[in-house]
Amino acid sequence: MRKSFFRLPIFIRDFMVMRNKGTVVAVLSGKGGTGKTLISVNLARVSGECRYLDCDVEEPNGYLFFKPENPAMEEVTVEIPEVLEAACNGCRKCVDFCRFNAMAFIKEKPYIFPEVCHSCGGCMLLCPEKALVPREKTVGRIEEGKSGEVTVVTGILNVGEASGMPVIKKLTGKYLPDQPGLTFIDCPPGSACTVMESIRKADYCILVAEPTLFGEHNLRMVYDLTGFFKKRSGVVLNKCSDGTNPSEDFCRENHIPVLGRIPFDMTLGILTSDAKIAADEKPEFADLFKDILENLKKEVSDEAALDSER
Ligand code: SF4
Ligand code: SF4
């Protein structure tokens, strides 16, 4: 059975991997402004029917490119504790327990800072007097709409909230399991817990890197992160020009597949700053991203074949 899957022609494996099971591709980079959104938006656009999930919930901007019409909106809520003063005996156990410093003891009673609370629920479980009860609080929203063949799903964190985790968990929980076809996740920048949550269910990671020493440092950081989560990854080198490219050297030294090279191009920069999808505007950009998509499919397909061999 395993051998026979491996021997299937590539296009059949593509069909099995990319259509029936569904494939989740996370696009990430070590810092903002590297080209994550450019690449995930354009890859989604040239993929036909697929899904684009914006998990960069503090600063989502993929929807500015896709401009989905009349998106449906769903609130994201969390539960934070509220003190029933009449029941509280002032034992202080909840304040001492909270590791997020979301509670203070003022005038012999606990006081809660809702913006800092991580909704872990521990204090409510712990309280011996059942004096802490959950209260719903809206921390953000999810918008879902269509742009051509792409389903655009955007997570948006309310201004002033401490953590984007609840919005990302809701996004990945609702939109990732058992969904057929391709899904691209536009991850938050860096390597914080929000990035880890965004890539947790990914089948493959695209790491976007700039051609500088700083870019190589950032690439190393996210490469280590994907390795920690045992995710396969490939690199798209952005803003390439003549001369040395430390990020490309890093890929060569570590045998990381390079899925594509995007040139440093003024037209591409202008289209992006005008919130236009480059693949829609110029055939040469559409071809560039189609090539990256083909390389991605081959990588995912080869990995699936290897998995079936193991
Ligand atoms: S643990 Fe319960 S009873 Fe003790 S201070 Fe906190 S709310 Fe009051
Ligand atoms: S729910 Fe968790 S984070 Fe929030 S106040 Fe209670 S212990 Fe602290």
The ligand 1 atom at the shortest distance from the C-alpha of residue 132 is 7
Q: What predicted TM-score, i.e. pTM, was given to this entire model? A: 0.85
* Residues 91 and 202 occupy one common structural domain: no
**Does residue 58 sit in the same domain as residue 184?**
yes
Q: ∠ CA 215-216-222 to the nearest 5 degrees?
A: 90
Which pair of tokens denotes residue 119?
């909704």
- Which ligand 2 atom sits nearest the alpha carbon of residue 112? 5
Are 210 and 236 spatial neighbours (Cβ–Cβ below 8 Å)?
Answer: no
CA distances from 30 to 90, 136, 143, 146, 220 (A): 45, 34, 26, 29, 8
Q: Which token pair is 298? A: 């081959």
Q: How far is the CA of 100 from the centre of ligand 1 (A)?
A: 17
Each residue's pLDDT, cut to its tens digit, for the chain (310 residues) gives: 333 333 444 444 444 444 457 899 999 998 888 999 999 999 999 999 999 999 999 999 999 999 998 999 999 999 999 999 999 999 999 999 999 999 999 999 999 999 889 899 999 999 999 999 999 999 999 999 999 999 999 999 999 888 899 999 999 998 886 778 899 999 999 888 899 999 999 999 999 999 999 999 999 999 999 999 999 999 999 999 988 999 999 999 999 999 999 999 999 999 999 999 999 999 999 999 999 999 999 998 876 655 555 5
Q: Are residues 124 and 252 in the same domain?
A: no
Contact (Cβ atoms closer than 8 angstroms) between residue 199 and residue 26 = yes
Q: What is the CATH number of the domain that holds 305?
A: 3.40.50.300
Statement to judge: residues 220 and 108 lie in one domain: no
Name the residue type at position 148. G
Runs of H (alpha helix) within the chain: 2-7, 10-15, 36-45, 62-66, 93-97, 122-126, 165-175, 193-199, 213-228, 246-253, 266-273, 278-281, 283-309
Q: How far is the CA of 109 from the centre of ligand 2 (A)?
A: 15
Checking DSSP bridges between strand 132-147 and strand 109-112, what pairing results, if any? unpaired
| Rounded Cα–Cα distance for residues 201 and 105 (Å) | 40
Number of domains in the chain: 2
Pair 275, 157 in one domain: yes
Domain hosting residue 171, numbered range: 18-76+140-309
95 lines ligand 2 (CB under 6 A): no
- Three-state SS for 246-290 is HHHHHHHHCCCCEEEEEECCHHHHHHHHCCCCHHHHCHHHHHHHH
Q: Distance from the CA of 125 to the center of ligand 1, in angstroms?
A: 11
CATH number of the domain residue 125 falls in: 3.30.70.20
